[in-house]
């Protein structure tokens, strides 16, 4: 039988990247004592008021068909949210989707196709390559270097651009590294995009989980407004990943043209989830502040313990719910270290290779577990590193 070429382009770009996570879940189901540090799933529940609003909305009959742009309740709430950042935002600048992933897929589908190219920092979130390749476009990596704190540099972006480039997919705060771009860095990157007439698609899902730095976005820069599209959701900020409630905010013309794409895919989300999202955006909810404090402290806890282990160099994040650790001095790749860690010490982490070539010597650890689990995980990780790290004079 024949298949569309998209199935070939996306082969091995789906759940295969989470093979260690799947194996860890299988081991746990069989009773193994596995500490799971793989995925970014908040370890706190949504605020009870959000659940109550969803239930209230369902009982009020808010479970019928919606529309392609989004329910008025959440569209209006998003206008209010983004007007705090830019005064010219209206309903025409908003499209709602079930989660950031769907928003990103639709946005890319509306901007690029076969023969085009999308620039993206490497390391990159694991699904970005699939989203780009689904359109038929090519991914072009912009190196995010550890010595620069994994911050994208305008010079590196400029050097990577080809005539086929149409879009820069930017992610700040960054997954997996937790890097947060400054306003000056965003302006320098934006200047490159203006010179080369590139769209900027900015994934800002960790906007509310910045530890100390100041969040900056190309969306807030008037010189970049005409070319910037933001995608985000309540998955991280409100500890509600399973509700699948996200959005895209961009120029009115772009949103008008993308609306038919959105309607073809979805023709609306769930009204009761839209009402819950509107409540989340319009009311003071402490979930993000609680997670910010917790994840910052946990990152420091990991960094302190693992910095004393042989062969390991933790790089504390500026935001988010992960910390990356350089394991290259152990003599192992991130992939080999992660599998050995699961099989020998029953700790599940993500290998850096799931996030691109620049992260092959790294592992990524989730901060979404209690301190006692962090301490035990560090003990087990240190044990593997101690066994694996050769004295420098014995390395080939």
According to the model, what pLDDT value does residue 392 have?
46
Residue 393 binned pLDDT confidence (cut-offs 50, 70, 90): very low
Residues 41 and 53 in one domain: no
Residues 118 and 78 in one domain: yes
109-127 residue pLDDT tens: 999 999 999 999 999 999 9
Q: Is residue 115 part of a domain?
A: yes
Query: What is the average pLDDT across 28-55?
Result: 95
Residue 262 binned pLDDT confidence (cut-offs 50, 70, 90): very high
Residue with the larger pLDDT of the pair 374 and 10: 374
162-213 residue pLDDT tens: 999 999 999 999 999 999 999 999 999 999 999 999 999 999 999 999 999 9
CB 316 within 8 A of CB 300: yes
Burial of residue 86 (number of CB atoms within 10 Å: 0-12, 13-18, 19+): middle
CB 144 within 8 A of CB 169: no
Q: Is residue 396 part of a domain?
A: no
Query: Comparing 11-15, 356-360, 390-394, which segment has the lowest mean pLDDT?
Result: 390-394
Residues 259 and 344 in one domain: no
- What global pTM score does this model have? 0.94
Residue with the larger pLDDT of the pair 259 and 41: 259
pLDDT at 15 over 80: no
Radius of gyration of the chain (CA): 21
Q: Is residue 347 part of a domain?
A: yes
Residues 41 and 52 in one domain: no
Q: What angle do CA 275, 279, 285 make, to 5 degrees?
A: 150
Residue 391 binned pLDDT confidence (cut-offs 50, 70, 90): low
- The CATH number linked to 292 is 3.90.1150.10
Residues 218 and 291 in one domain: no
According to the model, what pLDDT value does residue 216 have?
97
How far apart are the C-alpha atoms of 356 and 129, rounded to whole Å?
9
Query: What is the average pLDDT across 216-230?
Result: 97
CB 294 within 8 A of CB 47: no
- Tally of structural domains, the chain: 2
Query: What is the average pLDDT across 39-52?
Result: 94
According to the model, what pLDDT value does residue 18 have?
84
Residues 10 and 142 in one domain: no
Q: At what angle do helices 271-282 and 48-59 cross, to 10 degrees?
A: 140
pLDDT at 395 over 70: no
Residues 41 and 79 in one domain: no
Q: Is residue 395 part of a domain?
A: no
Q: Is residue 242 part of a domain?
A: yes
How far apart are the C-alpha atoms of 99 and 205, rounded to whole Å?
10
Residues 136 and 224 in one domain: yes
Closest listed residue to residue 85, CA positions, set 210, 217, 214: 217
- Domain end residue (candidates: 282, 316, 348): 282
Query: What is the average pLDDT across 247-273?
Result: 95
Residue 133 binned pLDDT confidence (cut-offs 50, 70, 90): very high
Q: Is residue 394 part of a domain?
A: no
Q: Is residue 93 part of a domain?
A: yes
Residues 347 and 247 in one domain: no
Burial of residue 2 (number of CB atoms within 10 Å: 0-12, 13-18, 19+): exposed
How far apart are the C-alpha atoms of 125 and 383, rounded to whole Å?
29
Query: What is the average pLDDT across 124-146?
Result: 96
- Domain end residue (candidates: 226, 251, 282): 282
How far apart are the C-alpha atoms of 361 and 336, rounded to whole Å?
10
Give the structural domain span for 177: 48-282
Q: What is the mean pLDDT of the chain?
A: 95
- The CATH number linked to 54 is 3.40.640.10
Residue 159 half-sphere exposure, CB side, CA atoms within 13 Å? 10
Residues 23 and 52 in one domain: no
């Amino acid at each position: 039988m024949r298949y569309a070429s998209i199935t070939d382009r996306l082969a091995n770009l789906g759940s295969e990247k989470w093979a260690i996570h799947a194996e860890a879940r299988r081991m746990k189901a069989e009773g193994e004592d596995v500490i799971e540090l793989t995925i970014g799933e908040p370890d706190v529940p949504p605020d009870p008021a959000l659940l109550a609003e969803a239930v209230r909305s369902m009982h009020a009959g808010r479970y019928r068909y919606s529309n392609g742009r989004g329910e008025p309740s959440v569209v209006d709430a998003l206008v209010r949210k983004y007007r705090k950042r830019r005064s010219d935002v209206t309903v025409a600048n908003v499209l709602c989707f079930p989660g950031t992933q769907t928003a990103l897929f639709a946005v890319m589908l509306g901007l690029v196709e076969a023969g085009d190219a999308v620039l993206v920092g490497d390391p990159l979130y694991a699904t970005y390559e699939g989203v780009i390749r689904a359109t038929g476009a090519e991914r072009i990596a912009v190196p995010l270097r550890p010595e620069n704190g994994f911050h994208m540099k305008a010079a590196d972006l400029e050097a990577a651009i080809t005539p086929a480039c149409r879009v820069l997919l930017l992610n700040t705060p960054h997954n997996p590294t937790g890097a947060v771009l400054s306003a000056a860095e965003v302006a320098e990157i934006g200047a490159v995009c203006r010179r080369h007439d590139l769209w900027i698609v900015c994934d800002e899902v960790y906007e509310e989980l910045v530890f100390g730095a100041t969040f900056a976005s190309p969306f807030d820069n008037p010189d970049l407004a005409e070319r910037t599209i933001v995608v985000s959701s309540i998955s991280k900020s409100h500890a509600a990943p399973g509700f699948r409630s996200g959005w895209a905010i961009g120029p009115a013309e772009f949103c008008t043209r993308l609306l038919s794409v959105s309607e073809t895919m979805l023709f609306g989300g769930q009204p009761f989830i839209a009402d819950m999202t509107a409540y989340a955006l319009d009311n003071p909810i402490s979930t993000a502040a609680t997670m910010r404090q917790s994840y910052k402290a946990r990152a420091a806890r990991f960094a302190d313990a693992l910095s004393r282990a042989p062969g390991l160099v933790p790089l504390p994040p500026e935001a988010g719910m992960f910390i990356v650790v350089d394991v290259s001095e152990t003599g192992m790749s991130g992939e080999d270290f992660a599998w050995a860690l699961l099989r020998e010490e029953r700790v599940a982490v993500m290998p850096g290779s799931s996030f691109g070539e620049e992260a092959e010597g790294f592992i990524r650890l989730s901060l979404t577990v209690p301190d006692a689990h962090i301490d035990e995980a560090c003990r087990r990780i240190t044990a593997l590193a101690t066994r694996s790290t050769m004295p420098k004079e014995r390395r080939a």
